[in-house]
Structure 1
Amino acid sequence: MQEAISDKTPSAAPKSADHAYAEIKRAIVDMRYLPGESMREEELARSLGVSRTPVREAFRRLGAEGWLEIRPNQGARVRVWSVRDVEEIFEARALIEPYLVGCAVARISAEDVEVLHRLATEMRAIAHAIDESGALEKWFVANRAFHEILTSASGNTRLNQTLNSMKEIPLIKWTFRNYTEEDRERSVQQHSEIVEAIRSGDREWAESTMKSHILAARQSVLQKLKANQGAVPVENKPKTDKRRQPYA
């Protein structure tokens, strides 16, 4: 009996810590916790069905990765993205993502090109019905799939992982929420142009369009950030805690 307990104990703690880390990170990405919002160990431990120790370890990891700000004697809060953060993220994307798209031109399958075309068409339809319930989330999902197919087709796993670590942040969702009609129209047009460039086998065209796409998004985000005193604003919380329910 003691041997069985010993066998389970070493693996149970890491598993709980990994579970807490994954779920808390997902909650931040999904914006169930907003920039600047505090996160309580006790509340999260209860929601996740674990002790406070795995939550504390998850906080440590997320703090090291830049998702949380750990404040002495004050706990953790979701990081607030500054103008400089945004500049660095988009500068890095503008260097990496066009290169990966260029690599993908010669490697991508015909099936994936058709999926890209379908996603671009879907995003255009969403852009024209953006006020419908769930439209922004559909846009985000389609856009993420579009970019992931492109960069995965490059064949450069390490650069793609580096890129994805930057694109996963809640800032991306905040960007979509604050796009103007002109921003959305520009975005869908550039997506369609990227697909056409790939179909034509034109690496230079694909790379330049992707770079323009990223830099245009950068300009739009920076304008809105500066209008909000240089940081992603903390939105008003909903009256209920429905954002937190997916932990159950």
Structure 2
Amino acid sequence: MMETLHTTSEVAPSGNAIYLAIKGAISSGEHGAGQYLREEQIAKSLGVSRTPVREALRRLDAEGWVETRPNYGVRVKAWALQDAREIFEARLLIEPYLAGRAALKINAIAVAQLKRLADDMLAITRLPSTPKSSDAWFFANSEFHSIITAAADNSRLDRSLTLMKETPLIKWTFGTYSDEDRERSARQHFEIVLALEQRNAAWAEAVTRCHILAAEKTVLDRYEREHASA
């Protein structure tokens, strides 16, 4: 359940706090795909008025987390194969470019952080696959790629990429990975770090592109398997 936001008579919760609370509930699965979100119920659960909830839902609609159906209301977006294809297509356009820029700009501290995260992810591949290990992989992987895109020093492209990667669909992709997929991904992380450390932009772009293409194939293959047996 979404936690009531703490308020006082003098300080109301910000619209951003309400937005983050609703998005967090969707991301965690508290609000599942296709579920309708009622302004009044959400406002009551958060201890706020309906107006900021309405604004938060409009923002989530614009970002693709929910969809508004005239005469029905707002419901959590159900992700489809086309959504996955579009996200990977956008990532392939943006992320390798940012990796190449990062190779020319990244500092030694950031490279050291990337090495640590690559080591962490390799260690996770040697553990039994559980929800806990999948979450650890997801968060380490997110931090790894965030460091690289931030190092590219293009805040607009970085924000666009971050919004795409925050979707529940992206976290779902990590549940599709077999042990072999995780090990391959971990090896690619080390190669990305080496390319960045040697300031080789073309290499960083190439290995990042291969990394994303491998993830895309894993996701689309699983989708086709599940729907073929449905």
Q: How does 1:66-77 map to 2 (within 5 A)?
A: 66-77=64-75
Larger Rg over CA atoms: 1
TM-score by length of 1: 0.81
For residues 79-132 of structure 1, give each alpha carbon's deviation from its aligned partner in whole angstroms, at most 9, with x where no partner exists. 111111111111110111011011111211111101100000101111211435
Q: Could you tell me which of 147, 156, 163 is aligned with 1:165? A: 163
Once the two structures are TM-superposed, the CA of residue 219 in structure 1 deviates from its matched residue by: 1.1
Q: Residue type of the partner of 2:18?
A: A
Distance 1:47 1:227 in 2: 39
Backbone CA RMSD of aligned residues: 2.3
Relative contact order (C-alpha < 8 Å, sep 6+): which is higher? 1
Task: Tell me the distance in 2 between the aligned counterparts of 1:156 and 1:61.
Answer: 23
* Contact residue 98 and residue 149 of structure 2 kept, 8 A: yes
Deviation at 1:16, TM superposition (A): 4.8
**Whole-angstrom distance in 2 between the partners of 1:138 and 1:51:** 36
Q: Deviations over 1:213-244 (max 9, x none)?
A: 001111111122233449xxxxxxxxxxxxxx
Q: Percent identity?
A: 50
Q: Aligned residue pairs: how many?
A: 221
After TM superposition, the structure 1 stretch with the greater mean CA deviation from structure 2, 180-189 or 126-135, is 126-135
Residue equivalent to 1:106: 104
Query: Does the 8 A contact of 2:104 with 2:200 survive in 1?
Result: no
Alpha-carbon contact 1:68-1:76 (below 8 Å) kept: yes
Structure 1 regions of 5+ residues with no counterpart?
A: 1-7, 231-248
Change (3 A) 1:22 1:179: same
The one of 196, 199, 202 aligned to 1:201: 199
1:169-248 → structure 2 map (5 Å cutoff) = 169-229=167-227
CA distance in 2, matches of 1:38, 1:206: 43
Structure 1 residue 133, shift from structure 2 partner: 5.8
Name the structure 2 match of 1:155.
153
Q: TM-score, normalised by structure 2?
A: 0.87
Residues 16 and 50 in structure 1, CA contact (< 8 A), matched pair in contact too: no
Once the two structures are superposed, residues 47-105 of structure 1 have per-residue CA deviations (whole angstroms, 9 ceiling, x without a partner) of: 21112332222222211221102223433221111111111111110111011011111
Letter in 1 for 2:187: Q
Q: Which one of the candidate residues 4, 7, 30 is aligned to 1:32?
A: 30
SS at match of 1:164: helix
